[in-house]
Structure 1
Amino acid sequence: MSKEKELETEALIKDKAKVLFFQKGLLDATTQEIADEAGVNRALIHYYFRSREQLMETLLEEVMLEKQETIREILKTEHPFKIKIAKFIGALIDHGLKYPYLENFVISETARNPDRIKLFRQKEKNRSHELVRQQLEEEISKGNIDPITAQNFMINLISLCNYPLLAKTVIQCFHGMNDTEYRKFLVQRKQVIYKAIFNEEMPDVE
């Protein structure tokens, strides 16, 4: 097998495993199920990743870094504060639409193995609340936002975005939503969250 073909096969396995774990929510999927999804021999899973656990660690790091990089790039821009927060809300919910079971996996992994999350966290260069602190304080000084610490502001914002992902099954069950309706609900949440913070319509930042 050529080097190019090997890279293609490795990427295929990772992409299909992400679908099983983070899109379909099959967090206990076996190496055989991953191999079947990718249309490859199970031995190739072990060839590229040595074990299911190593594959999972690789996938988690890739997906979380993808999310963090997107968020960091938004928060580091020179956009006005409200535009920046609108883009942040959109990016967080869009990532949740792509990987609806990722947050559940992160929470369960944090409880099961705190050291893994700590190691990942150490790779982050900037915490989100540090990137918004100055603009947030300016908005507070203008009277546009009630006094709040940057850390609490970001935790509130992330919670508003992430809770519907963590409670996906409960929300769908209690509100009678099928998957299409649930996805529509998440898209509408962008406006709801923005208005809850700024009491005005969310600008078009797509």
Structure 2
Amino acid sequence: MKIEEAQTEHVIKEKAKELFFKKGLIKTTTQEIADAAGVNRALIHYYFRSREHMLSILLDEAMEEKRERVKSILSFDLPFREKIARYIDAIITYNMTYPYLENFIISETVRNKDRTEAYCARNQSRSSDLIRDQLAEEIQQGRLAPVTPEHFLVNLIALCNYPMLAKPILRTIHGMTEEAYHEFLLERKQVIYMTIFNEEMPSVS
């Protein structure tokens, strides 16, 4: 693929990600994507065949990007608590960048179970294995209540992701503006860490 073509494809994908995952416009048309990218609609079909095929590509790439980000953080040669602080910071920041991504992943998981299973089958590495030894040490030294790595991660993921999944409900219940909810999510980083470890979250550089 020529450099110009690769750049055009990248622009189209970035604009589509913004519309789908950042603004939540899942029903965005091919023409709207083309207009946002400043290209002819025919180029969308040239690079991606259809809107549905583009969505499939974007979803796979977004899931892979998030998986690799988590794997990278949990693989760092760092103390356990600093590692978890980095995870919390990265996931909430990513969720704030693409606030509708998790909703879309869940809806696609329900709608297309076979596709989800195929994706998981391609990625056999488990995040729980990356924290197993350090978590066991925390528990052995009495710094955490006994919990399996699987339960620990499910709790951590839920604490980070639920505020995005339930954003419309939580904003309505608590009467928050968009700006106020943004600040609420930033505060969540410290609250989540404090909930797990009962101490202030260390600075993440």
TM-score category by the smaller chain? over 0.9
Report the alpha carbon displacement of residue 202 of structure 1 after superposing the two structures with TM.
0.4
| Residue 105 of structure 1, CA deviation | 0.1
The one-letter code of the counterpart of 1:78 is D
Render the CA deviation track for 1:35-71: whole Å, top value 9, x for unaligned: 1111211111110001111101111111111111111
Q: Distance in 2 between matches of 1:70 and 1:170?
A: 28
* Distance apart, 1:125 and its partner CA: 4.4
Identity %: 56
Aligned counterparts of 1:126 and 1:153: Cα–Cα separation in 2? 17
Give, in angstroms, the shift of residue 82 of structure 1.
0.4
Instruction: Specify every segment of 5 or more residues in structure 1 that has no aligned partner in the other structure, as ranges.
Output: none
Letter in 2 for 1:22: F
**1:128 and 2:127 are equivalent in the alignment:** yes
Deviation for aligned residue 1:123: 2.8
Distance 1:99 1:30 in 2: 19
Matches within 5 A, 1:1-206: 3-206=2-205
- Secondary structure of 1:201 counterpart: coil
Question: Residues of 1 paired with 2:61 and 2:189: CA distance?
Answer: 25
Q: After the TM superposition, which parts of structure 1 deviate over 3 Å for at least 4 consecutive aligned residues?
A: none
SS at match of 2:172: helix
Per mean C-alpha deviation after superposition, the further-off stretch among 186-195 and 59-68 is: 59-68
User: What SS does structure 2 have at the residue aligned with 1:108?
Assistant: helix
RMSD, matched Cα:
1.1
Q: Aligned residue pairs: how many?
A: 205
Task: Provide Cα deviations, 1:136-190, integer angstroms capped at 9, x if missing partner.
Answer: 0111111111011100000000000000010011111111222221111111100
CA–CA distance in structure 2, aligned partners of residues 178 and 37 of structure 1: 26
Distance 2:183 2:16 in 1: 25
What is the CA–CA distance in structure 1 between the aligned matches of 2:126 and 2:53, rounded to whole Å?
A: 27
Q: TM-score, length-normalised on structure 2?
A: 0.97
